[in-house]
C-alpha cells in the first residue's frame, strides 16, 4: 500500500475533527428553533466538544503508548459513531451535550494520535507534507460541514441531518484502519523488531531499510524514561514550546471564526440565515486551498517562514475586521468577508498546519506520548476558553475590541515564534531528539547533528 494512502486513511480522523467542530456553526442556528437557548447554553453546546477533547487529550498519550497508535484510532472511530448517533437522535439539550462530549473525547484522542501515527510511518523527506494531510483533512471536514449547513437550511429539524452525516467518515475510518500496519517506531519500542522491520519494508516498498531501523533502535537504546521525565530540565524547553504553540493557535481567534462565522456575518449585516451560512462556505473553501498549499510547500519553504508569514497576515486581517465594525453596513459586509477569508488563509498555512506537525516532531520517543498529550491538552484548553467566552466578549466589549484583542495575540505569537521555533524540515526525528539531549537551544534543535572535527595543533 502506498504511504500516501496509509496517511490519507489515518487522516480521516482529522476530517472527523473538522466536520464535528465546523458543523455546529450552522446547526446552532437551527437547534435554537427546537429548544430555547440562552447565550450561556449556546456557548455550552459549542464548547461541549472541547470539554470532551480536553478529557481525551489527557489520556491519549498513555493509551496510545500502551495499546498502539493503530488500535486507538480504531477505537475512536467507534466513539465517533456512538457520539454522532446520540447527538443526532437527541430529544433534549442535555442529550446533545452528552453526544457532543463523546465526539469530543474521540477528537481529543485522535488529534494527538493521527498526526503521531503519520509522522512515525512517513519517510523523513516527506514527513512535513504527509503530517499536514491531517490538517488538510481537518479543513476539508470543516468545508464539508459548511456546505452541508447550507444545503439543509430549508429542511425541518435540519440539525439532526447535519450531525448524522458524520457517521459516513467515521465508518470509513474504522474500515480503513483494519488494513493499515502499526507504527514501526511503536513496534520497536515494544521490542518487536521483526515486526518493525517488516512494517518498514511494507511502507517503503524496499528491503533496504537497515539504516532507518538501526537509527530507531539506537534512539531506543539511549534510555528507558519515566513519565516524570517530561518535566526534567532537558525536556522542559520543548515541552513549553509545545504548550505555547497550542496556546497561540487558539488565542489568536481561529475558532471564533470556525464556530461562530454565521453569527459574525449576521452582526456584520447579513440579514438572513442562508446568506450568512453561504458566506461561511467560502471560508471553508479558502481554508482547504491554503492547507493544500501548506502540504506541498512545508518541506520546501520550511516551517518557520510559513509560520511567521502567516502570523503577520492573521494580525493584519484581524485589525481590518476590527476596524470594519466602525464603518457603514455596506462596507462592513465586504470587509468582514474579505478579512475573515485572508485571516483563515494565513492561519491554514501557518499555525493550522504547524501545531500538529511540530508537536509530532519535537518530542523524544520515550516521552512523546505524555509530552504530546500535554501540548494537545493546552490546545484544547485554550480552545475551550476562547470559544466559551466569545459571545460574552462580543456582548461586553463589542466586535471592534474583541477582534483587536485577538490581533494583539497574533503580534505576541509572532515575537515568541521568531525567537523560539526551530526549523525541522529534512531532519529525522532521531536527530532532533539527539540535539535536544545534547542541550542545544530549542531554536536550533532542527539543525543536523554536527560532529566537530579535530584540527591539528599548530606549533
pLDDT of 295 reads: 81
Predicted local confidence at residue 103, as pLDDT? 96
Signed CA dihedral, 116, 117, 119, 120: sign only: positive
Instruction: Collapse the DSSP code of 152 into the 3-class scheme (helix H, G, I; strand E, B; otherwise coil) and give the result.
Output: coil
Q: What are phi and psi of 270, to 5 degrees?
A: -75, 120
What pLDDT is stored for residue 24 in this prediction? 87
* CATH code reported for the domain at 3-180+222-441: 1.20.1250.20
Q: What does the pLDDT read at residue 83?
A: 96
Taking the chain, what is the end-to-end CA distance rounded to the nearest angstrom?
A: 61
Q: Are 134 and 10 in contact (CB under 8 A)?
A: yes
Distance CA(77)–CA(100), nearest Å, equals: 14
Q: Which residues, in sequence order, are CB contacts of 257 under 8 Å at separation 6+?
A: 264, 283, 340, 343, 344
Residues of the chain with pLDDT under 50: 224, 449-459
CA atoms of 65 and 112, how far apart (whole Å) = 12
- Cα angle vertex 96, ends 90, 97, to 5°? 150
Query: For residue 242, which of 111, 138, 360 has the smallest C-alpha distance?
Result: 360
**Confidence (pLDDT) at 107:** 94
Instruction: Tell me how many degrees the CA angle 355-356-362 measures, rounded to the nearest 5.
Output: 80
How many Cα atoms within 13 Å fall on the side-chain side of residue 67? 15
Residues composing the chain: 459
Amino acid at each position: 500500500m502506498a504511504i500516501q494512502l496509509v496517511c490519507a486513511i489515518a487522516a480521516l480522523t482529522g476530517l472527523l475533527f473538522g466536520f464535528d467542530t465546523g458543523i455546529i456553526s450552522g446547526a446552532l442556528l437551527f437547534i435554537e428553533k427546537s429548544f430555547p437557548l440562552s447565550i450561556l447554553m449556546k456557548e455550552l453546546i459549542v464548547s461541549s466538544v472541547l470539554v470532551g477533547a480536553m478529557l481525551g487529550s489527557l489520556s491519549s498519550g498513555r493509551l496510545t503508548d500502551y495499546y498502539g497508535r493503530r488500535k486507538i484510532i480504531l477505537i475512536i472511530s467507534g466513539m465517533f459513531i456512538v457520539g454522532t448517533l446520540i447527538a443526532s437522535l437527541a430529544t433534549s439539550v442535555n442529550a446533545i451535550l452528552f453526544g457532543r462530549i463523546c465526539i469530543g473525547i474521540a477528537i481529543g484522542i485522535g488529534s494527538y494520535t493521527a498526526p503521531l501515527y503519520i509522522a512515525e510511518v512517513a519517510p523523513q523527506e516527506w514527513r512535513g507534507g504527509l503530517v499536514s494531510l491531517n490538517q488538510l483533512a481537518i479543513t476539508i471536514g470543516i468545508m464539508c460541514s459548511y456546505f452541508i449547513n447550507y444545503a439543509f437550511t430549508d429542511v425541518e429539524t435540519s440539525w439532526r441531518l447535519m450531525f448524522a452525516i458524520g457517521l459516513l467518515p467515521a465508518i470509513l475510518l474504522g474500515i480503513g484502519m483494519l488494513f493499515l500496519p502499526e507504527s514501526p517506531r511503536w513496534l520497536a519500542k515494544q521490542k518487536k523488531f521483526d515486526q518493525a522491520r517488516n512494517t518498514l519494508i511494507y511502507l517503503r516498498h524496499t528491503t533496504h531499510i537497515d539504516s532507518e531501523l538501526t537509527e530507531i533502535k539506537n534512539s531506543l537504546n539511549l534510555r528507558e524514561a519515566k513519565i516524570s521525565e517530561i518535566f526534567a530540565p532537558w525536556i522542559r524547553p520543548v515541552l513549553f514550546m509545545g504548550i505555547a504553540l497550542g496556546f497561540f493557535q487558539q488565542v489568536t481567534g481561529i475558532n471564533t471564526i470556525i464556530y461562530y462565522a454565521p453569527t459574525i456575518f449576521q452582526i456584520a449585516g447579513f440579514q438572513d440565515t442562508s446568506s450568512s451560512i453561504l458566506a461561511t462556505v467560502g471560508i471553508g473553501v479558502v481554508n482547504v486551498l491554503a492547507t493544500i498549499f501548506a502540504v506541498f510547500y512545508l518541506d520546501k519553504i520550511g516551517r518557520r517562514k510559513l509560520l511567521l508569514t502567516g502570523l503577520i497576515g492573521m494580525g493584519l486581517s484581524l485589525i481590518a475586521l476590527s476596524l470594519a465594525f466602525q464603518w457603514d453596513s455596506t462596507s462592513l459586509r465586504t470587509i468582514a468577508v474579505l478579512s475573515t477569508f485572508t485571516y483563515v488563509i494565513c492561519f491554514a498555512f501557518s499555525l493550522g498546519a504547524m501545531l500538529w506537525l511540530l508537536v509530532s516532531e519535537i518530542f523524544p520517543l520515550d516521552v512523546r506520548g505524555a509530552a504530546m498529550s500535554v501540548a494537545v491538552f493546552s490546545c484544547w484548553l485554550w480552545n475551550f476558553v476562547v470559544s466559551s467566552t466569545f459571545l460574552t466578549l462580543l456582548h461586553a466589549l463589542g466586535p471592534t475590541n474583541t477582534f483587536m484583542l485577538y490581533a494583539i495575540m497574533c503580534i505576541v505569537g509572532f515575537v515568541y515564534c521568531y525567537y523560539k521555533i526551530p526549523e525541522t524540515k529534512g531532519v529525522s526525528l532521531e536527530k532532533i531528539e539527539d540535539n535536544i539531549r545534547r542541550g542545544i537551544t530549542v531554536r536550533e534543535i532542527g539543525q543536523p547533528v554536527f560532529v566537530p572535527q579535530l584540527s591539528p595543533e599548530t606549533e
